[in-house]
């Protein structure tokens, strides 16, 4: 468990006051007979008739444009595995909290007792009239690839599997900056990847979009290097199969420029790190314990740039720096999908923000005196509120440029609106804490 809290504190947090972490609140007054008659019958019929004439007006007269479904069947929850939809619900509620706090997006968490991929697809498709976007979460591989692909093809709203693309986008931003710092070209680096699940496959696909050569990616699963001489490889692993077997992880790590870990604690040894090329980049993202401890990696290779999934070390790869703001930008232009250009825009905006001076409130939140772009600061801190103003407009602009947006916006005006949106969201959170007398 985290040193920040005890098990008892975590359980009390979820149990205190109203159970769980989310509630539904009205956004319009309902204090008089007039209010009631407009909220429901007969006044609501006017909105219904307008939408009947033009279904896209559902964005104007309902909450669809600010509502995301977080959908899971509980088959791959965090590091807990297939624990089922009920046990996965606290995670999905937590996702909803992050959507609301960081980007003022409303969420219904939908925890489905469905194991058949085709059945899950049909259920989600049927919900399209209600939601402006679908966040798939904690669905096991390889089914998650098939489910997301089908839904993207068959739905007219954004569908985004965060377990795949969230880590890819945030780590991609860090990779761009790390390579710039060490002075290496992205199309020339040798990359070794430990792990071949949904996140690892998505990361590698995204790194290829950024410029990494596919033939320079050496991916390992629990059976060793993925290569074309192996049998029973699924189509996702075959996508990154090397032409032949180049040996063990220790052998392939020799001369590697980048290590990406999405696997298990301790798989990367000090000897392997020593054998890497000059100024190695190590993204050890296994949670809660990375593939190699930060202190160990730094001791054997002081010249390395290292990132982990942990908040107590520099360069945290945290999905919260991605999904709320990606959906914010997509929703605000009524996007039909989240495409590769929008993901690239998100990563590049994060990479650019890391080069800006860090505000005092961010330093205070992390107990730091200064924070400057360099080996120990290659991506913005997750609690940096400026991410909303940088990432969401970048995503929205990419949607407009690639013609998947249904609504034109003034980007300069939009950035100002985002500032107000975040301030209001923070105010609501403060009022909630005061109302319920929470001590956390």
Residue 346 has phi, psi (to 5 degrees) of: -60, -45
Residue 357 has phi, psi (to 5 degrees) of: -60, 140
What Cα–Cα distance (Å) separates residue 429 from each residue in 101, 104, 433? 7, 11, 6
Asked whether the beta carbons of 152 and 337 are under 8 A apart, the reply is yes
User: Residue 412 corresponds to which tokens in the numbers above?
Assistant: 């300069």
Q: Which residue in this structure is represented by tokens 């599997």? A: 161
Buried b (16+ CB within 10 A) or exposed e, 170-202: bbbbbbbbbbebbebebeebbbbbbbbbbbbbb
Asked whether the beta carbons of 125 and 151 are under 8 A apart, the reply is yes
DSSP E strand boundaries for 174-240? 191-194, 217-221, 224-225
Candidate list 34, 40, 228, 436, residue with the active-site label: 40
What Cα–Cα distance (Å) separates residue 22 from each residue in 41, 92, 100? 28, 10, 10
Q: Annotated catalytic, 244?
A: no
Which residues have a Cβ under 8 Å from the Cβ of 259 and sit 6 or more positions away? Answer: 191, 192, 193, 194, 253, 268, 273, 276, 280, 281, 282, 283, 284, 291
Which among 262, 194, 189, 201 has a CA at the least distance from the CA of 224? 194
**3-class DSSP assignment, residue 259:** strand
Buried b (16+ CB within 10 A) or exposed e, 266-300: ebbbeebbebbbebbbbbbbbeeebbbbbeebbeb
Q: Annotated catalytic, 95?
A: yes
HSE-CB for 408 with a 13 A CA cutoff: 0
Which residues have a Cβ under 8 Å from the Cβ of 378 and sit 6 or more positions away? Answer: 173, 174, 177, 178, 181, 305, 307, 315, 354
Pairing of strands 133-136, 159-161: parallel
Candidate list 55, 57, 89, 95, residue with the active-site label: 95
Asked whether the beta carbons of 263 and 203 are under 8 A apart, the reply is no
Please list the active-site residues: 40, 95
């Amino acid at each position: 468990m985290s040193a920040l809290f005890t098990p008892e504190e975590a359980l009390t947090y979820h149990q205190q006051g109203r159970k769980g972490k989310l509630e539904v609140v009205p956004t319009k007054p309902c204090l008089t007979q007039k209010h009631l008659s407009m909220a429901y019958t007969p006044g609501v019929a006017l909105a219904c008739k307008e939408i009947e004439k033009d279904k896209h007006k559902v964005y104007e007269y309902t909450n669809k444009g600010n509502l995301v479904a977080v959908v899971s069947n509980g088959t791959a929850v965090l590091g807990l595995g297939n624990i089922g939809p009920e046990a996965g619900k606290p995670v999905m509620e937590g996702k909803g909290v992050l959507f609301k706090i960081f980007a003022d997006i409303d969420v219904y968490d939908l925890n489905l007792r469905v194991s058949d991929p085709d059945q899950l697809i049909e259920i989600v498709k049927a919900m399209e009239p209600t939601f402006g976007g679908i966040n798939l979460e904690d669905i096991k591989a390889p089914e998650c690839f098939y489910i997301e692909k089908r839904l993207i093809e068959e739905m007219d709203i954004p569908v985004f599997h965060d377990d795949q693309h969230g880590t890819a986008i945030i780590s991609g931003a860090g990779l761009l900056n790390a390579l710039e710092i060490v002075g290496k070209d992205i199309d020339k680096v040798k990359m070794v990847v430990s792990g071949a699940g949904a996140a690892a496959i998505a990361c590698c696909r995204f790194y290829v979009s950024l410029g990494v050569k596919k033939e320079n990616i050496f991916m390992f699963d629990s059976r060793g290097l993925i290569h074309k001489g192996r049998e029973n490889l699924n189509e996702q692993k075959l996508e990154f199969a090397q032409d032949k077997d180049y040996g063990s992880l220790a052998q392939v790590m020799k001369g590697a420029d980048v290590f990406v870990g999405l696997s298990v604690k301790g798989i990367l040894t000090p000897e392997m790190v020593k054998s890497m090329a000059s100024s190695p980049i190590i993204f050890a993202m296994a949670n809660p314990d990375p593939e190699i401890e930060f202190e160990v990696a730094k001791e054997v290779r002081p010249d390395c740039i290292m990132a982990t999934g942990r908040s107590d070390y520099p360069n945290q790869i945290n999905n919260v720096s991605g999904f709320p703001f990606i959906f914010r930008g997509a929703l605000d232009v009524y996007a039909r999908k989240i495409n590769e250009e929008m993901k690239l825009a998100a990563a590049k905006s994060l990479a650019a923000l890391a080069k800006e001076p860090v505000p005092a409130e961010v330093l205070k939140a992390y107990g730091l005196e200064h924070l400057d772009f360099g080996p120990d600061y290659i991506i913005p801190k997750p609690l940096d509120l400026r991410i909303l103003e940088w990432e969401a407009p970048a995503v929205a602009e990419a949607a407009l440029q690639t013609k998947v947006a249904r609504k034109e916006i003034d980007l300069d005006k939009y950035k100002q609106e985002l500032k107000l949106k975040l301030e209001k969201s923070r105010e609501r959170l403060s009022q909630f804490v005061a109302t319920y007398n929470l001590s956390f």
